[in-house]
Amino acid sequence: MDKNDKRTNTRRLLLRGAVAIGALSAARILTLPDTDTPKAPVGRNGAAHAAKRYPAAPAPPARGTLPVQAPDTYRLRPLAGEPSPWYPDAPPPHAEVAFTVPTRTREIALTFDDGPEPSFTPQVLRVLRSHDVRATFFVLGECAVAFPEQLHAIVGDGHIVANHSWTHPQFTTLAPGRVRSELGRTSDLIEKTLGSPPTLARAPYGDWDRASLRICNELGMSPVNWSIDSLDWTRPGAGRIARNIMSEMKPGAIVLSHDGGGDRSQTVAALEWYLPRLLDEGYTPIRVEY
């Protein structure tokens, strides 16, 4: 069995386990343990809310200590790249990979990959809804076809659904025809489910090359990567995830997190903690729109 087959089998096993994990996770209330980051109060920025003094985020773990959970085995790292036409009524796709959102204010973009998923996607949506915040969800076709109701929930809350391929392969290892199939099948499913095709795409691992970028553009989508990797896929603990984001935050940042692909309870707990703090610091989360 080659590396691509192993990676695909791993993703399928994770997908089969999503419902079981979701049932267990939904049965308990997510709270941060005393040794991790405290749960943030709900609310947008304002005088009364900003006046509250938050406990300091916990110190980073000592060097050489193990993460709280093993990282997802199929994760790799980022890259970038190039151009062409588009679907009717869709904005012209950008040829260049976007790593930030253009802004002169403290606007940022929160993005979530590898869903939808029946347990953690609703939990992420709940936190975003409680702060009246919008985000962008890069979905996998194999998950979207299994949980179409979650696509409707994402759009119903005012978020954007974007394309993250069908099975999460590394594009730079595939023939162009396979890349086109991965992106095209997912776009077709999103259009069939929601009534319009996606205009944004993110390559698995952020790994684009000339061929995959050309195909992305030909399918009417602009490529999007990120400027802040929360590293939530390593499952280092909610406090570490929150610090990864807060320490790198700046206007225009695109934040990478995940609502699928594994146990995302740490991602949800971290989001509950850092989102109100970002709002209090004057940041405004927006959807990625090109």
* Beta bridge partners of residue 200, listed in sequence order: 222
Of 131, 159, 168, 258, which is the active-site residue?
Answer: 258
Each residue's pLDDT tens digit, 12-23: 444 444 434 443
pTM of the model: 0.73
Write down the pLDDT at residue 92. Answer: 65
Write down the pLDDT at residue 104. Answer: 87
Q: Which residue has the higher pLDDT, 68 or 110?
A: 110
| 76: CB partners within 8 A, 6+ apart | 170, 205, 207
Q: Residues 222, 199: contact at Cβ < 8 Å? A: yes
What CA–CA distance (Å, rounded) separates 165 from 202? 8
The pair phi, psi for residue 36, each rounded to 5°, is: -120, -165
Write down the pLDDT at residue 29. Answer: 32
pLDDT mean over 206-218: 95
pLDDT, mean over the chain: 78
Write down the pLDDT at residue 11. Answer: 52
pLDDT mean over 45-72: 38
What CA–CA distance (Å, rounded) separates 38 from 6? 38
Of 36, 72, 113, 114, which is the active-site residue?
Answer: 113
Write down the pLDDT at residue 60. Answer: 39
Q: Residues 259, 124: contact at Cβ < 8 Å? A: yes
pLDDT mean over 200-218: 96
Tell whether the model's pLDDT for residue 149 goes beyond 70. Answer: yes
Q: Residues 256, 111: contact at Cβ < 8 Å? A: yes
Q: Residues 78, 205: contact at Cβ < 8 Å? A: yes
Catalytic annotation present for 168: no
Q: For the chain, which domains are there?
A: 3-41+75-286 (3.20.20.370)
Catalytic annotation present for 209: no
